[in-house]
Structure 1
Amino acid sequence: MDMRHLTYFLEVARLKSFTKAAQALYISQPTISKMIKNLEEELGIELFYRRGRQIELTDAGQSMYVQAQKITKSFQNLTSELNDLMNVEKGHVRIGLPPMIGSGFFPKVVGDFRDKYPNVTFQLVENGSIKVQEEIEEGSLDIGVVVLPTKEEIFHSFTIVKENLMLVVHPSHRYADRDEVELQELREEPFIFFSEDFVLHERITSACLKMGFQPNVIYESSQWDFISEMVSANLGIGMLPERICRDLDADRVKIIPVVNPSIPWHIAVIWRKDRYLSFAARAWIDHTKSYQWSTN
């Protein structure tokens, strides 16, 4: 039995005529008669009383009619649902975002996507890049936005932002009026760091170790705005991405480029290479690829 059997059966039952049903379905009468006969043989029951040109549903046919209506209706709903998903009219996307990325500039990206696809829903999860990668790897997230580098053997990725980290100091700091500061000049400074589940924690530590010193970390936080507030209270120095620094109050903190070496802050969208992505998730990837990040 397939959907054609049910469709032909319902049309014969509705019109009470093989001839009229065949005309309505644009097939020959022998074809529809044979299809109904095959269905009866498969089920081992009679579906219609045949009295010359008049036909009526049997008791079994009545039961079949009720169930066939439900089945075909469900199939039509499924077809519509799949068409909606393929046209990105519906869908759900689970996205992981580090806090500084999510609060810094991603709301506009999400808003623009929602304007194009208003029926797609989101689950936005804020975690550090390391945790986001773990959750995509285990399948609890579809897509993530992370600080590079990432595991190229596991994830597809494309870069959306290429910037550097900037030094953030109190206006009274001895480096506040400098045009740039070399990383090794910070060996005696008290650092306010991101927590260990953030890639930047490891990135800054590694850069300092390569210059011959262990950074003196006095506070750790998962929030970039808390780090900037701590610096503005003259409790230590911080290092934040350029994009975040643009929103800081220039009267309360000073922003200075770090050189020799500079520390990159490259942001990428990632997803697993070996996992199916919904049509909505693919649309999100296409949207972020085409987005004008330089103007955001």
Structure 2
Amino acid sequence: MDELVQRLTVLRALAADEHVTHAAEAAGVPQPTVSRWLAALGTSLGAPVALRSGRRVRLTRAGRLLCEAADRALTALEAGQRAAAEEVSPERGQVALGFLHLLGRSVVPSLVSTFREDHPAVRFRLVQNSRQDILAHLADGDVDLALVSPPPTDPAFAHAVIREEELILVVPPGHRLAGRPAVRVAELAGEEFVGLEPGYGLRQITDDLCAAAGFTPTPAFEGQETETVRGLVAAGLGVALLPHADSPSGLPEIPLDPRAAREIALVWPADTPLPPAVQAFRDHALAP
């Protein structure tokens, strides 16, 4: 196995700069050994994989194809070594967590910090994006877990709701609805809305609430951050359905009648075993 990895490393290094000395250094073998391996490869193929040009080598088409295959093979081996190491020792693992922008302010820092109190060596790779993109990353295996709202209905995903946040109407100061004890969504049919772009979970929830009330909201402005949305509301450019602000914003906030809320769910692949470090973090996030 070690010699196979060395040979693959040589091919990857040759693909990078076509320099035999550098390839030998990368693999930790003498330069004559590299030359011997290249000659043996050419013999087994019936055609040379590299042609010398001074201290460098010029890869043939066959050589380039082998180098591309070597790079893919090493990438797979490295991923396998990581998975094997995590299987033996969950404390050395990595968790790739995807989440919505809004959750990066409180939910994610709280979960990660409390988890690392008991698992200080576990590493995290954090990915922020829209709900649509985060779920695509999860499906592709680019992240291990996802925090999104609303929960997905795709059977390829399993999920558990970890938090619920009430949604309220945010209006500019002096708005006709400011000061009301509550408001029905149907009363907003003539309003211009400020909201998140399509693909964001809060946008989907807003559209669904309005559809249930019998109208399609008129989007005046769209953004990617709730704080931007609040700023646009403050400027009198529309109304918005948002969670309560983390800190006082100076904007009137009116409860909805009936009450509306969004569920924040932790999501993972339904049929793929989780590495131990990822499973440990999932269990931590789901703990009461």
TM-score range, shorter chain: 0.5 to 0.7
User: Does structure 1 residue 239 correspond to structure 2 residue 241?
Assistant: yes
Name the CA distance, whole Å, in 2 between partners of 1:240 and 1:134. Answer: 24
| Partners of 2:210 and 2:216 within 8 A in 1 | yes
Paired position in structure 2 for 1:273:
270
Name the CA distance, whole Å, in 2 between partners of 1:248 and 1:256. Answer: 16
Name the CA distance, whole Å, in 2 between partners of 1:108 and 1:100. Answer: 13
After superposition, give the CA deviation of every residue in 1:216-237 in whole Å (9 maximum; x if it has no partner): 1111111011111111222211
Name the CA distance, whole Å, in 2 between partners of 1:140 and 1:274. Answer: 16
| Residue identity in the other structure for 1:255 | E
Question: Number of residue pairs matched?
Answer: 208
User: Does structure 1 residue 188 correspond to structure 2 residue 166?
Assistant: no
SS state at 1:89 partner: helix
Paired position in structure 1 for 2:116:
114
Name the CA distance, whole Å, in 2 between partners of 1:176 and 1:98. Answer: 29
| Partners of 1:204 and 1:263 within 8 A in 2 | no
| Residue identity in the other structure for 1:109 | L
Name the CA distance, whole Å, in 2 between partners of 1:84 and 1:200. Answer: 35
After superposition, give the CA deviation of every residue in 1:171-191 in whole Å (9 maximum; x if it has no partner): 211211011110011111111
Paired position in structure 1 for 2:130:
128
After superposition, give the CA deviation of every residue in 1:175-219 in whole Å (9 maximum; x if it has no partner): 110111100111111110111011221221122123222211111
- CA drift of 1:87 comes to 4.5
TM-score normalized by structure 2?
A: 0.67
Listed as ranges, the gaps of 5+ residues in structure 2 are 1-80
TM-score normalized by structure 1?
A: 0.65
Paired position in structure 1 for 2:107:
105
Structure 1's consecutive aligned runs of 4 or more residues displaced over 4 angstroms after TM superposition are 81-87
Name the CA distance, whole Å, in 2 between partners of 1:157 and 1:117. Answer: 23
User: Does structure 1 residue 200 correspond to structure 2 residue 197?
Assistant: no
Classify 1:248/1:238 alpha carbon distance in 2 versus 1 (closer, same or farther; 3 Å): farther
Listed as ranges, the gaps of 5+ residues in structure 1 are 1-78, 292-296
The alignment yields a C-alpha RMSD, in angstroms, of 2.2
Q: What percentage of aligned pairs have identical amino acids?
A: 29
- CA drift of 1:255 comes to 1.1
- Where in structure 2 are the equivalents of 1:1-296 lying within 5 Å? 85-241=87-243, 245-250=244-249, 252-260=250-258, 262-290=259-287
- CA drift of 1:86 comes to 4.2
SS state at 2:266 partner: strand
Larger Rg belongs to:
1
| Residue identity in the other structure for 1:183 | V
Name the CA distance, whole Å, in 2 between partners of 1:214 and 1:82. Answer: 51
- CA drift of 1:273 comes to 1.4
Q: Which piece of structure 1 moves more, 122-131 or 143-152?
A: 143-152
Name the CA distance, whole Å, in 1 between partners of 2:88 and 2:101. Answer: 31
Classify 1:156/1:179 alpha carbon distance in 2 versus 1 (closer, same or farther; 3 Å): same
